[in-house]
């Protein structure tokens, strides 16, 4: 398997080549200088930002490589387009950004991805039970934490008795 770092440099080379072909040579150096860091987690495929101290940065999802070279490189080019768009004085996913995606990089100008990236957060439910009629209720992590910190919840099913934790957790 090819290295992810090879994919990054290949996408850089493609971007520089396309910028040169379309007459946007002045942005080639920008593409060369942007650090690509693989630290994003969750549903986000990639992020571009310009920081006061670090300048332009691209952060990619650490699982993005699992979706193959094309998805990886398209996401990286998407983020490079943000950097170029910013340097041109435009913002986010405007018509200029779409122009860069379609006419310079020759890729679809999709704002969001369709990759099956999963959230890193576990969204468990906690099972509580009415002490009178034994009806079960699902509590979110936040509500469960409130109970652990002293909150009391009463059932609305029968006698308004206090709900008690059954010790069961369910994955959503």
Higher pLDDT, 81 or 134: 81
Give me the chain's average pLDDT, please: 89
SS3 156: coil
CA 88 to CA 68: how far, in whole Å? 31
In a domain, 45, yes or no: yes
Beta carbons within 8 Å of 12's beta carbon, 6+ residues apart:
31, 32
In a domain, 94, yes or no: yes
DSSP string, 15-68: HHHHHHHTT-GGGHHHHHH--EEEEE-TT--EEEEEETTTEEEEEEETTGGGG-
Model confidence, pTM: 0.70
Host domain of residue 152: 124-171
Task: Out of 74, 104, 134, pick the residue that ends a domain.
Answer: 104
Whether 90 and 13 map to the same domain: the answer is yes
Find the CATH number of the domain harbouring 74.
3.30.2010.10
The predicted-structure confidence for 136-166, as pLDDT tens digits, reads as follows 888 888 889 898 899 988 888 877 788 888 8
Strand-strand pairing, 163-171 and 136-139: unpaired
Nearest Cα residue to 9 out of 47, 35, 41:
35
Place of tokens 């310079």: 104
Whether 97 and 128 map to the same domain: the answer is no
Whether 95 and 132 map to the same domain: the answer is no
Least confident of 40-49, 59-68, 102-111, 162-171: 162-171
- The total domain count for the chain is 2
Whether 89 and 27 map to the same domain: the answer is yes
What are the residues facing 39 on neighbouring strands? none
Evaluate if residue 113 carries a pLDDT over 90: no
The predicted-structure confidence for 45-100, as pLDDT tens digits, reads as follows 999 999 888 899 999 998 899 999 999 999 999 999 999 999 999 988 999 999 99
């Amino acid at each position: 398997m090819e290295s992810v770092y090879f994919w990054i440099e290949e996408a850089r080379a493609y971007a520089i080549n396309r910028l040169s072909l379309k007459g946007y040579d002045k942005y080639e150096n920008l593409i060369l200088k942007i650090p690509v860091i693989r630290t994003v987690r969750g549903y986000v495929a990639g992020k571009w930002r310009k920081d006061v101290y670090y300048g332009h940065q691209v952060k990619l999802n650490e699982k993005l490589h699992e979706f193959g070279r094309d998805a990886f490189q398209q996401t990286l080019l998407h983020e490079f387009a943000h950097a170029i768009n910013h340097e041109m004085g435009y913002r986010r996913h405007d018509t200029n950004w779409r122009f860069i995606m379609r006419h310079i990089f020759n890729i679809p100008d999709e704002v969001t991805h369709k990759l099956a990236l999963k959230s890193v957060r576990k969204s468990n439910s906690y099972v509580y039970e009415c002490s009178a009629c034994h009806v079960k209720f699902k509590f979110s992590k936040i509500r469960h934490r409130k109970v652990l910190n002293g909150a009391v919840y009463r059932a609305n099913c029968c006698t308004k008795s206090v709900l008690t934790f059954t010790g069961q957790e369910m994955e959503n």
